[in-house]
Amino acid sequence: YWDMNDQTRAWSKRFSALANKNAMPSMTQAGNYAMVLHYLKAMDALGSNPHDGAKVVAKMKELPTDDPLFGKGPLREDGRRLIPAYLFEVKKPEESKGPWDYYKQIATIAAEDAAKPLKDSECPLVKK
């Protein structure tokens, strides 16, 4: 959610300034940004474009993720990034403080509880 904290608000305001009708970013747009940023960090760490997807993925798993939207977090062996999940409630119109102020956070689910346990992963990359 764009209004979670100072970092998400700052990034979202930069996004909104460039977006059609000054829209705030969706969860999908934020996730794509975070993923591409991590990919580019891996490419930078490799020193070039190795044209080898396995090397890039290995470097992405080696590097810790860190971005202004989701913060720091691990990238597991199965490629899943662990981030908390949030439960929001839609605000009543009188609770909204302005444009794009639609939600209030009700609960946070820890990253470890929000994702399928690694031991239950069906990913062929996970060694069992």
pLDDT tens digit sequence for 42-60: 999 999 777 888 899 999 9
Per 3-state DSSP, the chain is made up of helix, strand and coil in percentages (nearest 5) of 45, 15, 40
Q: What is the pLDDT of residue 125?
A: 80
The class of domain 6-81 in CATH terms is alpha beta
Q: What is the pLDDT of residue 61?
A: 92
SS3 128: coil
What residues contact residue 109 under an 8 Å CB cut-off, 6+ apart? 84, 85, 86, 87
CA dihedral 46, 50, 51, 56 (to 10 degrees): -30
For residue 94, report the phi and psi dihedrals to the nearest 5 degrees. Answer: -70, -15
SS3 53: helix
Mean pLDDT by 10 residues, the chain (128 residues): 94 96 94 95 87 90 92 88 94 95 96 91 84
Give the C-alpha separation, 23 to 117, whole Å.
35
Q: What is the pLDDT of residue 73?
A: 86
In degrees, rounded to 5, the angle at the alpha carbon of residue 111 between the alpha carbons of residues 110 and 117 is 115
Give the C-alpha separation, 40 to 42, whole Å.
5
List the chain domain ranges.
6-81
What residues contact residue 34 under an 8 Å CB cut-off, 6+ apart? 65, 67, 69, 70, 81
Residue type for position 75: L
